[in-house]
Amino acid sequence: MALDQTPPLNSLGFAKAPADTRVVVAMSGGVDSSVVAAMLAEEGYDVVGVTLQLYDHGAALAKKGACCAGIDIHDARRVAEDMGFPHYVLDYENIFQDAVIDEFADSYLAGATPVPCIRCNERVKFKDLLETARDLDADCMATGHYIQRKMGAGGAELHSAADASRDQSYFLFSTTPEQLAFLRFPLGHLPSKDDTRALAAKYGLGVAMKPDSQDICFVPNGDYASVIRKLRPEAADPGEIVDTDGRVLAQHDGVINYTIGQRRGLGIGGLADPLYVVRLDAEKKQVIVGPKSMLATRNVPVREINWLGDAPLTSREEWHISVKVRSTRPPREAIVRPQGDTTAMVELLTPEEGISPGQACVFYDTDSSRIFGGGWIHKG
């Protein structure tokens, strides 16, 4: 009887030696992706590092801690040199401008609260960069995201990171099954960020103690208003602050300076109860304010759903799962009622405040760490 000569699976899930497995690593220059690249290189994989130049590295944006600024490209290149694998910088500025920055500005002006990091993953990193990885004959692409990929009965599944405080599932819900089959997330199982930094020190990486990036890469210091003012100067036009009945309460100096749920800085005094921003109307140049009770939302319309369940979304009239409507909030119990293959009405069992069109609504299994995808909140 012939013995099965199939080699065991390597750590990336391929039945061949690491040296025969090519992996493209998306390197931002930060500690997470640098550790992934160094770890795989040490294990003997055929590593190719790729860093994306996403925007103009001018003085206004090239700041420490901003993703892919000039210093970050230098840091990624140094890691590749130290670990002995090739590294390439790809100019994706035009793609990034068209796919991410322009939509960010337009949706913000439309009164939404955009999440450009999701669109970047969806339209740039996991689309164009992933295709580049295939063109380089890679077997897979690895990133430094804190999320887990596990094999289930129906193929690759998306799961939350072991460290809940680092979990990035909210920003990766739109990853498709086809993309998930090609992607790897080597850090998702680590107990904490301290473990990642310990690995960086072990590999002798100069970025071991580099600070985490806190801001959207093209929005230095979190100043949305200044970026949008440059992209869409009309957003700084003055207008009126009105109540829900249309009565003028004050003047403002541009809708870009306000966000849904904002209370401070409205310039409205002498009221018994505080008022909050409940809606933005960029077309009329109006900031609409109302009582806090108007911020509480129970029913959330969701579209552009990327469904990652084993059975089709429309195979049930309703799904009892948990959802996350803000990246900083824990998942809450909800009922998802499909209205089509990519649309649904989500009922939150406990109403949440500050939900805004443009945010993501991400679906979670209540009994495990699995993510069932998600979609985009809209006005309905």
Mean pLDDT of 47-71: 65
State how far the Cα of 54 lies from the Cα of 100, in Å rounded to an integer: 10
Is the confidence at residue 11, as pLDDT, over 80?
yes
Which position among 67, 120, 140, 361 bears the catalytic label? 120
Phi, psi of 198, deg, nearest 5: -65, -40
Asked if 120 is an active-site residue, the reply is yes
- 135 pLDDT band, cuts 50/70/90, is very high
Lowest mean pLDDT among 12-26, 29-43, 271-285, 351-365: 271-285
Mean pLDDT within 295-319: 96
Which strands form 248-252's sheet, in the order they lie side by side?
248-252, 239-243, 286-290, 276-281
Report the pLDDT averaged over residues 64-73. 62
Q: How far apart are CA 86 and CA 37, in angstroms?
A: 11
The pLDDT of residue 164 is above 90: yes
Mean pLDDT of 245-253: 93
Identify the CATH number of the domain defined by range 18-221. Answer: 3.40.50.620
Parallel, antiparallel or unpaired: strands 239-243 and 22-26:
unpaired
**Catalytic site residue from 68, 140, 217, 361:** 217
CATH code of the domain occupying 237-290: 2.30.30.280
Please state the domain extents for the chain. Answer: 18-221, 237-290, 295-377
Question: 163 versus 231: which is more confidently predicted?
Answer: 163
Angle at CA of residue 344, ends 338 and 350, nearest 5°: 105
- pLDDT tier, 3 (very low <50, low <70, confident <90, very high otherwise): low
The letter for the amino acid at 259 is T
Q: Is the confidence at residue 162, as pLDDT, over 80?
A: yes
Residue 105: its pLDDT value, please?
Answer: 86
Average pLDDT, stretch 36-53?
A: 96
Q: Is the pLDDT of residue 212 over 70?
A: yes
**Contact status, residue 94 vs residue 117, Cβ threshold 8 Å:** no
Q: Give residue 163's pLDDT.
A: 95
User: What pLDDT does 361 receive?
Assistant: 97
Average pLDDT over the chain reads 89
More confident residue, 113 or 277: 277
Most confident of 51-55, 70-74, 99-103, 368-372: 368-372
d(CA 134, CA 128): 10
Mean pLDDT of 250-273: 84
Residues present in the chain in total: 380
Q: What is the pLDDT of residue 2?
A: 52
Note the pLDDT of residue 86: 97
Is residue 67 flagged as an active site residue? no
Q: How far apart are CA 87 and CA 220, in angstroms?
A: 26
pLDDT of residue 273: 84
- pLDDT higher than threshold 70 for residue 183: yes
**For residue 75, which phi and psi values (nearest 5 degrees)?**
-65, -40
Query: Is residue 269 over pLDDT 90?
Result: no
Q: Which residues pair with 223 in a beta bridge?
A: none
- How would residue 60 be classed by pLDDT, with cut points 50, 70 and 90? very low
Q: Is the pLDDT of residue 262 over 80?
A: yes
Residue 58 pLDDT > 70: no
Report the chain's terminal Cα–Cα distance, integer Å.
64
Task: State yes or no: pLDDT of 94 exceeds 50.
Answer: yes
Which pairs from 131-137 meet CB under 8 Å and 24+ separation?
A: 132/24, 132/50, 132/90, 133/24, 133/50, 133/182, 134/182, 136/22, 136/24, 136/48, 137/22
Per-residue model confidence (pLDDT) at position 21: 98
Mean pLDDT, rounded, for 268-286: 84
- Contacting residues for 1 by C-beta, under 8 A, at least 6 apart: none
Q: Looking at domain 295-377, which of 3.40.190.80, 2.30.40.10, 1.20.210.10, 2.40.30.10 is its CATH number? A: 2.40.30.10
